[in-house]
Structure 1
Amino acid sequence: SPVLLDLACGRGRHSLQLAERGFRVTGLDLSERAIRIAKEKVAGITRNRPLFRTGDMRKPLDSRFNVVVNLFTSFGYFENDDDNLKVIKNVHQMLLKDGWFVQDYLNPQWVRSNLRKSESGHIDHTGFSIQRKIENGFVKKMMNFTDHRTGSTASFTERVRLCDREWFRVAYAAAGLKTCAVYGNYNGDAFDELKSPRIILFSRKTV
């Protein structure tokens, strides 16, 4: 079975799906809490159970993989762009020759045109409000949650760099990855800078 790294795997949602499709999966994430939850999810699985570990994507693992995936905008976190490029170079290092890298990211042009600046609502007993803004080349999402039963509140901020198609072209070339296909959504339609909500890149380690 091909060996796969789910880079920035969060709570393991994609890792589980990929393991069910026959990949031998390792999931890596910086969040100890997310990794703990991922491990709890797979505790009862006996066949082809994904492995989960905490780690910083700026530090490559010693293992080598046939496939590395980085899905659902789990990239572009770092203020220093050299760190973002380092992640791409680490992917190249961790791939076996002819291995594949699949990266799924937001399309900055689409985000600028379609940004929902605020939204709010309720799910069960929890109220939420979300504010979004573009600032200094990053898209920021500020989230507030309130549990109406207890009155407890929690706030989170997410921020990712607006890396466009050209950014990835330069970064992949610098890392030694050859881009083989670029899609603009999950239906597999061709990427269009103005109309596509996503940048989904399939690239290969050829050297």
Structure 2
Amino acid sequence: MGWYEDDDVWVGFADVMFPPRRAAEAQRLVATSPLLKVAGGDRVLDLACGPATHVVPLAAQGAEVTGVDLSMAMLALARAACERAGVTARLVRADMREFVERDSYDLVVNMYTSFGYFTDPGDNLAVLRNANASLVPGGRMLVDVLGKEVLAGWVGRPQAVDVDGGTVFMRDTILEDWTRLRTDWTYVRGTEIRRTSIHCVLYSAAELRALFQAAGFTEVECFGDFDGSPYDNHARRLIVRGTRA
């Protein structure tokens, strides 16, 4: 079983992965980012939607949103978030390596380094190919990750993050010549200690651009932030966008 299939990870570390500030940031980005701009009636697919962090603000903008996630626990949180916000969204339990709804969406998004979970490179390519097939001609795919170039500036420094009632200690390790990243988390809350390790494939801008092109996307562009700024030495994220021909 891959780490991403373990609901104990998503539930046990939800406070770290999805703090309230992340939902507030998503709301701001959907309202202001030219990369996330949607119009009423646009059909949007959020792959690995988690607790509806982006589903809610996208639906609030009038988009018809489908959120896909493998975790039942995350989908339960997503339903609750949609209800609290008074928005309607379609939520589907599915593996993004297999989920395809042909010619159905104007925009597909995959946010907060939810891409690269799979150790087999062919699986990550399959995610992009499925997304390409699910878009209408002219539709766009947006993937947001931490690129190698950004990660190199700070990786290796242990971090401690205070959460409600405890602290999470995080340590990153680069593996296999900068092809994969392992992040080890230790959650200390009183006398309770929980540990987990998260693995993901690392991509440079050139590598992820090439993967988009291999999946059939055209007009592939790389950005350094959600304001559409270039992917350069000032970049905060690696955001890649491609268009279905």
2:204 is the counterpart of 1:164: yes
CA shift at 1:60, angstroms?
2.3
For 1:78, the aligned partner's letter is F
Residue 140 of structure 1 corresponds to 182
Which 4+ residue blocks in structure 1 deviate beyond 4 angstroms? none
Gap change, CA 1:174 and 1:39, over 3 Å in 2: same
2:70 is the counterpart of 1:30: yes
Residue 4 of structure 1 corresponds to 44
CA deviation map 1:86-122 (0-9, x unaligned)? 1111111111111111111111022123214312253
CA shift at 1:187, angstroms?
3.1
1:42 is paired with a residue whose SS is: helix
The match for 1:199 among 235, 238, 242 is 238
For 2:98, the aligned partner's letter is K
Higher alpha-carbon deviation: 108-117 or 30-39 = 108-117
CA deviation map 1:139-185 (0-9, x unaligned)? 1111111222xx22222222111111222222222221113532112
2:95 is the counterpart of 1:56: yes
CA shift at 1:5, angstroms?
0.3
Q: Which has the higher strand share?
A: 1
Higher alpha-carbon deviation: 75-84 or 109-118 = 109-118
Residue 81 of structure 1 corresponds to 121
Contact 2:209 2:240 in 1 (8 A): no
Alpha-carbon distance in structure 2 between the residues aligned to 1:45 and 1:129: 32
CA shift at 1:199, angstroms?
1.4
2:159 is the counterpart of 1:108: no
Unaligned runs of 5+ in 2: 1-40
For 1:114, the aligned partner's letter is W
The match for 2:217 among 135, 152, 177 is 177
CA shift at 1:53, angstroms?
1.5
The percentage of counterpart residues that share the same residue type is 25
Contact 2:174 2:181 in 1 (8 A): yes
RMSD: 1.7
Alpha-carbon distance in structure 2 between the residues aligned to 1:118 and 1:11: 27
2:119 is paired with a residue whose SS is: coil
The TM-score with structure 2 as length reference comes to 0.77
Alpha-carbon distance in structure 2 between the residues aligned to 1:67 and 1:178: 14
